[in-house]
């Protein structure tokens, strides 16, 4: 793997513009790993060995329980699930430009280009087949989570954490299995200024040069401008009426108590309850729905077809005339939903990300049978994953939210992760007693077998 990924032995480097030699950086980082393996008071030696940004990341990795010797890249998003997520992701529209500016030149010189989403999940890895295979062995694989919380210090994780461009060289990576990688990464923001993805050039020591970081930053800036121009053009097209082209993708937010939101060409549009219900159901049924089937999923009373046609006509005036077709009703464009993102996190085993994404039930005010099924399915899956995680951070976040605030079984699981001498243990114990009194019995026993 070393020869394929790093491209041979390390050349001698002189002092760079920052006055730091790579050889010295590697030696200091290797020494820091020695102190890390000892732990305890020896961690106080790290500030003299690591760059401040790297030091802060290492300390967060230590506190988060990341094991530097972990050689298991974990479960990632794979196959059709990854393909659907990647195709519907907003950064997909900028990929032709990224290909032109970055992929062709970088990969032809033996480097790799990595594209990740706003959470640090790798959407794609581009480069020669042998280098891509070698990178996958180190955990740099399509569908994997490179967030700092999951794998410790790395360039993509730092960008997601700080929002700023970063480079990480060899043994500065927290995980030993990533020590043959050097990465230079930069953020990509959408027209509203939100982080939407990360671009990274990765490879051996050749990446640890100022011009490489400058190159990836320039490509990220160009991608941001492309997203902005696409949003402007699409916004103009939507105002032209029935001849408007089909938008490239949609975004749908339906979790929690807030008003449902649709994102079309970078523009957020508030949705009515009924319109949100229809879009959720169409997103769930990619094969399409007949008017009769859609009516049954929307209302137990079985709406008539005329009512469905009227509702779809009003929805077209909101999302555009060509977003979905009829007979059956079916979306013509990819739609990225927060429901899909939550499922992806659960599928990959990332319970912490799933709890963070879960701002509340799916359309909590909806009584549509099809929506209720989706809502219940997600809640059961998430709660089951939380209870099985045994992770104090996950359980703490769940019990602090509206769904878990009175979840006695979750409080009991949370208590099991806390030291009995900790003040937090007493607080959790008091909460459980309150729940016991409220329910008139042992609340943890009553909820044990509840979904």
Provide the pLDDT for residue 359: 86
pLDDT tens across the length of the chain (451 residues)? 333 443 333 333 333 433 357 888 899 999 999 988 887 677 788 888 999 999 999 999 998 889 999 887 666 788 888 888 888 888 998 998 888 888 887 777 889 999 999 989 999 999 999 999 999 999 999 999 999 989 999 999 999 999 899 999 999 999 999 999 999 999 999 887 788 999 999 998 889 888 899 999 999 999 988 888 777 666 555 444 444 455 567 788 899 877 898 887 667 788 999 999 999 999 888 888 888 888 888 886 666 777 888 888 888 888 777 778 877 888 888 788 888 888 888 887 888 888 888 888 999 999 989 999 999 999 999 999 999 988 888 898 898 888 888 888 989 999 998 888 888 898 888 988 888 887 765 555 545 434 4
Residue 372 tokens read as 């209720």
* CA-wise closest residue to 380 among 450, 297, 331, 278: 450
Confidence at residue 438, expressed as pLDDT on a 0 to 100 scale: 79
Smallest Cα–Cα separation from 171: which of 136, 206, 139, 205?
Answer: 205
Alpha-carbon separation of residue 353 from 61, 313, 348, 365, 392 (angstroms): 16, 37, 10, 25, 14
Domains of the chain, earliest start first? 2-231 (3.30.450.40), 248-389 (1.10.10.10), 390-451 (no CATH)
The pLDDT of residue 324 is 80
Retrieve residue 286's tokens: 């990619």
Residues 6+ apart with CB under 8 A from 107: 113, 126, 127, 128
Q: Which helix (H) or strand (E) holds 283?
A: helix 273-284
| pLDDT at residue 247 in the model | 54
Tell me what pLDDT residue 246 has.
54
Q: Name the nearest CA neighbour of 180 among 153, 154, 208, 204.
A: 204
Q: Could you tell me the pTM of the whole model? A: 0.55
Instruction: Copy the structure tokens of residue 213.
Output: 């970081």
Instruction: Tell me what pLDDT residue 18 has.
Output: 38
Distance of CA 195 to the CA centre of its chain: 11
Q: What are phi and psi of 258, to 5 degrees?
A: -70, 170
Rounded CA-CA distance 244/238 in Å is 6
pLDDT value for 124: 95
């Amino acid at each position: 793997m070393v020869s394929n990924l790093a491209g041979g032995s390390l050349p001698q480097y002189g002092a760079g513009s920052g006055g730091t030699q790579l050889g010295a950086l590697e030696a200091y980082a290797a020494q820091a790993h020695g102190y890390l393996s000892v732990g305890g008071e020896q961690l106080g030696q790290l500030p003299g060995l690591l760059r401040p940004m790297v030091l802060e990341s290492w300390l967060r990795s230590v506190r988060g329980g990341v094991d530097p010797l972990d050689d298991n890249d974990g479960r990632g998003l794979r196959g059709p699930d990854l393909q659907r997520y990647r195709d519907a992701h907003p950064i997909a529209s900028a990929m032709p430009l990224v290909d032109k500016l970055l992929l062709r030149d970088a990969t032809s010189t033996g480097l790799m280009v990595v594209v990740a989403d706003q959470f640090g999940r790798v959407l794609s890895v581009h480069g020669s087949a042998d280098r891509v295979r070698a990178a996958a062995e180190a955990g740099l694989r399509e569908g994997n989570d490179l967030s700092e919380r999951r794998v410790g210090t790395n360039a993509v994780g730092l960008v997601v954490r700080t929002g700023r461009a970063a480079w990480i060289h060899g043994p500065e990576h927290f995980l030993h299995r990533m020590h043959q990688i050097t990465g230079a990464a930069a953020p990509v923001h959408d027209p509203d200024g939100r982080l939407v993805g990360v671009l990274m050039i990765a490879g051996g020591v050749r990446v640890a040069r100022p011009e490489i970081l400058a190159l990836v930053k320039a490509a990220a800036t160009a991608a941001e401008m492309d997203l902005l121009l696409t949003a402007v053009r699409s916004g103009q097209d939507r105002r032209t009426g029935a001849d408007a082209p089909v938008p490239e993708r949609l975004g749908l937010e339906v979790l929690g108590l807030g008003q449902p939101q649709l994102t079309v060409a970078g523009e957020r549009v508030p949705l009515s309850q009924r319109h949100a219900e229809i879009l959720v159901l169409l997103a769930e049924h990619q094969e399409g729905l007949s008017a009769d089937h859609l009516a049954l999923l929307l209302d137990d009373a079985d709406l008539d077809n005329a009512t469905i046609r009227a509702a779809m006509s009003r929805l077209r005036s909101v999302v555009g005339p060509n977003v979905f077709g009829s007979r059956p009703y079916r979306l013509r464009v990819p739609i990225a939903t927060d429901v899909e993102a939550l499922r992806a996190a659960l599928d990959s085993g990332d319970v912490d990300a799933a709890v963070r994404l879960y701002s509340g039930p799916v359309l909590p005010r909806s009584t549509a049978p099809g929506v209720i099924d989706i809502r219940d399915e997600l809640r059961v899956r998430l709660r089951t994953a939380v209870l099985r995680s045994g992770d104090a951070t996950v359980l703490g976040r769940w019990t602090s939210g509206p769904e878990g605030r009175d979840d006695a079984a979750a409080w009991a699981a949370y208590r099991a992760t806390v030291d009995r001498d900790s003040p937090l243990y007493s607080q959790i114990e008091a909460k459980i007693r309150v729940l016991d009194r409220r329910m008139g019995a042992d609340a943890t026993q009553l909820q044990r077998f509840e979904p």
